[in-house]
Amino acid sequence: MANRDIIHAIAFNADGLVPAIAQQHDSGEVLMVAWMNADAVEKTLNTGQICYWSRSRQALWRKGESSGQTQRLIEMRLDCDADTLLLLVDQTGVACHTGRHNCFFRAVRGGELVTIAKVETDPKELYGE
């Protein structure tokens, strides 16, 4: 595996991070955006399970490690500037920590921010009390 070559091709920012969009591979739904460092990219490619870098916890974060809502990698893509990743994934359950299916649940409609998606799973079920 030439994971090293792939990682070398990525233009990480000054903090060593690259934004990664997770998109449901079959429906096209944009689920979430998070960040990866080189270790997260490598772990994702090696395991086939999406692993991000948590900027708040400053630690690798295997998606679903707490909630069980994992993301299986279908395909990793790189944009023209090599500074953004698109992850085609298969999402188990809900992607958003609020219990919604994706994180983009607020829309600008009629000049206001409107919540357009319902909570599908109680966050208490995902993370405990």
The footprint of its own copies (CB under 8 A) covers 1-3, 5-6, 9, 19, 21, 23, 27-30, 32-33, 45, 75-81, 84, 86, 96-98, 100, 103-109, 111-113, 116
Residues 6+ apart with CB under 8 A from 89: 22, 23, 24, 25, 31, 50, 71, 72, 73, 74
Q: In terms of CB distance, is 49 or 98 closer to its own copies?
A: 98
| Residue 75: CB minimum distance to its own copies, A | 5
Q: In terms of CB distance, is 6 or 60 closer to its own copies?
A: 6
| Residue 68: CB minimum distance to its own copies, A | 18
| Residue 70: CB minimum distance to its own copies, A | 18
| Residue 7: CB minimum distance to its own copies, A | 10
Q: In terms of CB distance, is 33 or 60 closer to its own copies?
A: 33
Q: In terms of CB distance, is 60 or 105 closer to its own copies?
A: 105
Instruction: Round to whole Å and give the CA distance between 90 and 6.
Output: 22
Burial readout 38-72 (b: 16 or more C-beta within 10 A, e: otherwise): bebbbbbbeeebbbbbeeeeeeebbbbeebebbbb
Which CB contacts under 8 angstroms, 24+ apart, belong to 113-120? 120/94
